[in-house]
Structure 1
């Protein structure tokens, strides 16, 4: 007899007639067909994945869809940041068009944040918008990129510069698939979990100090709780500010520094997105200390939480370096909201007290980064 699966946790992203659910639980991939079948008008589903994820989880999804009377029409792309490109986006759109996909069809993203972003942009452009579903297979994607409708591909000039706000119809976060992740990928996702605590939830920060190692070790109870809290935090902010006109910018805590680190590294796999964000958050908090906004003990406490899981918070120890201050600040100038040598930064007045600094002085940021480079 098949083992009975527990009911998934459910988080609602409230956006009026574009609202949708995030379902979180073990072995949800086996139930994907049942959940997706309610969205389709034809007995078929288009699936975009990367080659690694398709090999690990593609058969499970295909079987689930078949059990619900749906045929999977699948395309894979190479794993890695190079697939999050204008060229690959064109290939995906050409595939959809050649297969006769229409606006009433459903496009499923089976993979991490790269596949999710690529799928979302493609869905937004396909005949001015087709339905899509996120099935994130990395911890980072489950707690961050699969939720909220920010979709983008990279340009030569920087990360996430070509994209759209386009919401999915459904997110299925199967925590059991995370067992196939390498440790670095788990840690990269954990950085985004810590981000929600640092933005506005000091109680969650306290909880992570006690349970964070269990989350990273994929303990089912701790993992499910952390993913649900993170998704609820993001859903709350997205519901208030879908297109990042205000409070949603708080979700960029650590990302201005982190994206600059990724750009300086040439988006190579030697520095994962979450690793850049972890260092970026630590840098943002230490810069807040430098500005007299928060005390050094709180910034150190945040760095300890990240480092206790195995993440790096100092520039000189980050993989893929070196990261010269001038190179990083030049990359920050590519920020979509940068103006005349000033850039918005998410800083903090304490743990769980992040705020938007709309016009940080990049020359001062460069001086700060040079000081950081002198540290161990």
Structure 2
């Protein structure tokens, strides 16, 4: 018999939707509320490494992701002029029957996840927020913005880096902070010569090209930025193109195609880790609400999904809620800490290098290799 009978998931992002499916597959009733009145997903892509695909496979959605995306083996590394430096294969130890990586547009991934949650009976309400909750130890009474109320055995906050529930639980003890870098993204038609993921290293930036379908890819640029401003508006195409100065070959040809301001997606890089139990009583946080990381390992969404799948397994088993949540923390905290800390170190080394500092201890390639392989381990 499951540990809990009815759960509320707050937040309809990647982690929240996977959690809804994972819990329903274990026979647990799930309500999911999302504050936006319509599904809104910014239209670039996401990378699903092999451990991400393993987690999706455990809830029966890996093949749907592959069918709607573009699998690729690894990252071919180039200098700024497009000369190949090395071409290592990506690890597949987490799920050898699945590709090393899959690129998929965020809208298509969200469609897969929405169907995945609704097909198993999750009750999803858009344009709805939690206005009040009270945990009396035996359950949580929740009031919603539409005036309705319901009692739950557990509430899970999957609200992202700026989670209101985190503030209710922990006050101002934890908040995401800017790490000095930003990431610019833009979709392009996929060139004929692209047969895998591609990375290009410039003197003070890094560019990646990610396949999303047979005809589509996206570019990301990692840059040093002076503050956490969110760049947007009519000048963003020029700003993005300016950050590609010094590149030749394919990247230079693509630079001239960055013309639509509405298609530029920029995000400052934020990082945060809640380093103590993510729950108080019967209210739990997961995903970016407790471990916001930079994209250096392409593991942010993967960690949120691993949280979700493990919660389904633990809450759907025997025992007590206290034991299940304790086991969840035992298996998740050190793993996400590793991701957050390795990503922060990679970012710090990049910023040093781009500013002209020569650090003899910097080992970006070695750390990236070790971390990528370490995350293939089960959790």
Q: Provide the TM-score with structure 2 as the length reference.
A: 0.24
Higher relative contact order (CA 8 A, sep 6+): 2
- Flag the structure with higher helix content: 1
